[in-house]
Amino acid sequence: GVLQRQVKSLLELDFEVASDYVLNAEMATLVANEVAPRVEIVAPNVTAEDDIMPRRLPLAPEEYAKLPLRAPVVTIMGHVDHGKTTLLDTLRKSAVAASEAGGITQHIGAFEVALPGGKITFLDTPGHAAFENMRARGANVTDIVVLVVAADDGVMPQTREAIKHAHAADVPIIVAINKCDKPGIDKERIKNQLLEHDVQIEELGGDTMAVEISALKGTGLDDLEESILTLAEIQELRADPTGPVEGMTLESQVKKGRGSTATVLVKEGTLRIGDILVAGTSWCRVKSMATDAGVQLQEAPPATPVEVLGWRELPAAGERVVQVDSEDAAKKAIAARERRMARAKAVSAIDEINAARIKAAAAAAELAKVKRKNRAAALRAQGTDRGDGPAVTPVAVIVKGDVSGSVEAVVDALAKIDHPELNVTVSASGVGAITESDVERTYAATTAIVGAGAEGRAASGMASAGLVVGFNVKPDKKAAALAKRHKVTVVSSNVIYKLMDNVKEHLATLLAPET
Ligand code: GDP
């Protein structure tokens, strides 16, 4: 019964169904919406990320240990005005000065610093929002957080927030005590403040490195970079430079004369000119790659951030990048993603409709209440009120359904109707079509409840003397005729929420004055 209906609903909703089909979240929602008044998605929604695109499996430790080391990816965080931007600028300038590039840099979202001891990749969008956005998408690329704390200001709200984010993401911190060029500062105070916030500096017996710097003057930056490389060594960050490329878009933008560009941080594999990438619902045949210093690259190994040209459409930032074999494979993957997204949209549209429906029902009940009050006031004004306040209108209901499960569901739903001026009573229920005897029983039950008042109710303009509710069953001709004679209302539907809507509509007419 129920399963058959589900499958029927599935077919009506245009899904291909096999007998052993497992419903995924969106299908289940669509079906459930057909049979239930309200649906909540308990399991997380399907997103474009979670799909058919290949993903490298985690390696066994001994396999991982064979991979070459890669550069650490560093994010700079800290309180506003503590010197994050200045630090990034100084680091970048020293990097450009060290390379042969002419010194003209452009912001692409990340840059690399090459040192004798190794390379470091800095993400250059300081701020916690970017870090959290990435993390929320399960796209954490940061290996190390450099926490900038101005020596003359100490631990401030955003410092604490940064600590919280780093801890939540399980990313180790290196503290950069900045503005140490300023006179009369107390570094010990800051170290103790940090201790209070769960950041234990090495000197105080903890395992967090702290470096004293001046981002403005450029002092202590060697120390900072060395500390980063030391920590990276401990972390043993490795990546596979072979195999299909996987990465992340850090930024994207349409640039004059260059079209859609996106900075890709390569995580696995080596990106080369001509490779085909998919990010979200856009794809690209890599036309060219450049660093922030404008150096054109033919190859980008793991942990390299490069501005990639050749995107058909602008991909979003924070999108997973995956290499595919052909343009055809790229287009297919995108089409599949678009279908998934359309379905996810349909699911959220249904949620909205559900919410609107509940709101409308509440509004209708409110309106009915107001009408009822007005009517009572009018009656009082005419002197016909007996002075015992608004009466509770009894409503006798008989429920019929095709299977016992659905009958129970309808009875339950009716029991939940709680209205100060209505007393809905299910006087009988059962499986089968709606018959003359059901109508008769409803009429009798109504008369029994209302007693001698039954005629009075009819006289005072009540539209109906009882209600028969049918789930997936209808009255036969004789029953329908009798119902009309007795003023018994029959509502039926094979969708519970529609049925309940009809019931509520009927109940509203009992409250509203006849016109
Ligand atoms: P952000 O908001 O964290 O990015 O901070 P900024 O980098 O914009 O720096 C805020 C202010 O502090 C600016 O006026 C900088 O010139 C100044 N500043 C940054 N680093 C230092 C430093 O090491 N020493 C001194 N004296 N001032 C600094």
391 pLDDT tier (thresholds 50, 70, 90): low
Which residue has the least CA distance to atom 14 on ligand 1? 81
Q: What is the pLDDT of residue 18?
A: 42
In the structure encoding, which two tokens stand for residue 23, read together?
A: 């419903």
Instruction: Report how far ligand 1's centroid is from the alpha carbon of 129 (Å).
Output: 20
Q: Which of 75, 85, 86, 128 has the most ligand 1 atoms within 8 A of CB, as the residue to mutate?
A: 86
Instruction: Give yes or no for residue 145 having a pLDDT over 70.
Output: yes
Instruction: Report how far ligand 1's centroid is from the alpha carbon of 214 (Å).
Output: 9
Mean pLDDT for 418-443 is 84
Which atom of ligand 1 approaches the CA of 86 most closely?
7
Dump pLDDT digits (tens) for 159-191: 999 999 899 889 999 999 999 999 988 989 999
Instruction: Report how far ligand 1's centroid is from the alpha carbon of 126 (Å).
Output: 13
Q: How many CB atoms lie under 10 A from the CB of residue 74? A: 25
Dump pLDDT digits (tens) for 25-72: 555 655 565 555 555 544 334 444 445 676 788 888 899 999 999 999
pTM: 0.63
| H/E run at residue 145 | strand 144-150
Which atom of ligand 1 approaches the CA of 78 most closely?
3
Instruction: Give yes or no for residue 454 having a pLDDT over 50.
Output: no
Instruction: Spell out the residues 6+ positions from residue 21 whose beta carbon is closer than 8 angstroms to its own.
Output: 10
Query: Whose structure tokens read 């009255």?
Result: 475
Residue type, 477: K
Helices 221-235 and 84-98: crossing angle in degrees, nearest 10, is: 90
Which atom of ligand 1 approaches the CA of 79 most closely?
3
Strand segments (E) across 207-319: 209-212, 246-255, 259-268, 271-272, 276-279, 282-290, 296-297, 299-300, 305-311
Poorest-confidence range of 118-127, 150-159, 321-330, 447-456?
447-456
Instruction: Report how far ligand 1's centroid is from the alpha carbon of 42 (Å).
Output: 46
Ligand 1 binding site (Cβ under 6 Å of any ligand atom)? 78, 80-86, 126, 178-179, 181-182, 214-216
Q: Highest mean pLDDT: which of 194-203, 354-363, 372-381?
A: 194-203
461 pLDDT tier (thresholds 50, 70, 90): very low
Instruction: Report how far ligand 1's centroid is from the alpha carbon of 243 (Å).
Output: 43
**SS3 state at 312:** coil
Which atom of ligand 1 approaches the CA of 148 most closely?
3
Instruction: Report how far ligand 1's centroid is from the alpha carbon of 125 (Å).
Output: 16
CA distance linking residue 376 with residue 389, whole number of Å = 8
Mean pLDDT for 70-93 is 93
101 pLDDT tier (thresholds 50, 70, 90): low
Dump pLDDT digits (tens) for 194-243: 999 999 999 888 999 999 999 999 999 999 999 999 999 999 999 999 99
Mean pLDDT for 108-118 is 90
Dump pLDDT digits (tens) for 244-288: 999 999 999 999 888 999 999 999 999 999 999 999 999 999 999
